Amino acid sequence: MTEQFKLYNPTVMDHFLNPRNMGDIVDADAVGQVGSAVCGDIMKISLKIENGRIIDAKFKTFGCGSAIASSSIATELIKGKTIKEALALTNRQVVDALGGLPPAKIHCSVLAEDAIKAALVDYLKKHPELAAEMNIKLEEITNKNNNHSQEHSESGAA
């Protein structure tokens, strides 16, 4: 194993080398994309939602091994969850599920959280009655995502 891979634990390596849920959902109910080519990481999450529950989640990620692993585990974490449960997912939960990430790669877990929330905002914008019924304020979610994205690009993280 090369020196650079020694930074990563076996769970991160497994999700990097054998990513789960990679690809697109052709008839997705929701799509969210975050990141920028400038910093080097772009994540796109697509979701299939039935009766307020995520029945499928897929991702396409352009980025480092930590970004791919974060996307993979995040999609695993939200499958079967309700919209509200998925909105509660934090980057810390992504890091914990991976068994940790090097400090310089924590931003990848933030992108995974933000991509999922962007997809859920996309869905709730198409179904405003659900957002109202669940007492979800889309602007609050969007503002948090924008703050994360701004912090990510200011850190120059890749």
Per-residue pLDDT of the chain (158 residues; tens, 9 = 90+): 455 557 789 999 999 999 999 999 999 999 999 998 776 889 999 999 999 999 999 999 999 999 999 999 999 999 999 999 999 999 999 999 999 999 999 999 999 999 999 999 999 999 999 888 988 888 777 766 555 555 544 444 44
pLDDT at res. 155:
47
Q: Does domain 3-155 have CATH number 3.40.50.20?
A: no
Contacts of 40 (CB under 8 A, 6+ apart): 62, 63, 64, 158
**CA–centroid distance for 88 within its chain:** 12
pLDDT at 156 (0 to 100): 47
Q: What is the pLDDT of residue 15?
A: 96
> In this predicted structure, what is the pLDDT of residue 7?
79
Tell me the sheet residues that pair with 33. Answer: 44
Give the count of beta carbons closer than 10 Å to the beta carbon of residue 94. Answer: 26
Task: Name residue, tokens 């019924």.
Answer: 133
Domain boundary assignment for the chain: 3-155
CB 60 within 8 A of CB 24: yes
pTM (2 decimals)? Answer: 0.85
pLDDT score at 5: 58
On whether the CB atoms of residues 101 and 108 are closer than 8 A, the answer is yes
Choosing from 69, 108, 111, 124, the catalytic residue is 108
Q: Are 40 and 20 in contact (CB under 8 A)?
A: no
Annotation marks residue 64 as catalytic:
no
Q: What is the model's pLDDT at position 143? A: 66
Q: What angle do helix axes 10-17 and 65-78 make, rounded to 10 degrees?
A: 90
Give the Cα separation of 25 and 22 in Å (integer).
10
Q: What is the pLDDT of residue 153?
A: 45
The pLDDT of residue 138 is 80
pLDDT of residue 78: 99
12, 39, 57, 110: which is the annotated catalytic residue? 39
In Å, how far are 24, 29, 33, 78, 139 from 51, measured between CA atoms?
A: 21, 12, 23, 15, 23
Is 39 one of the catalytic residues?
A: yes
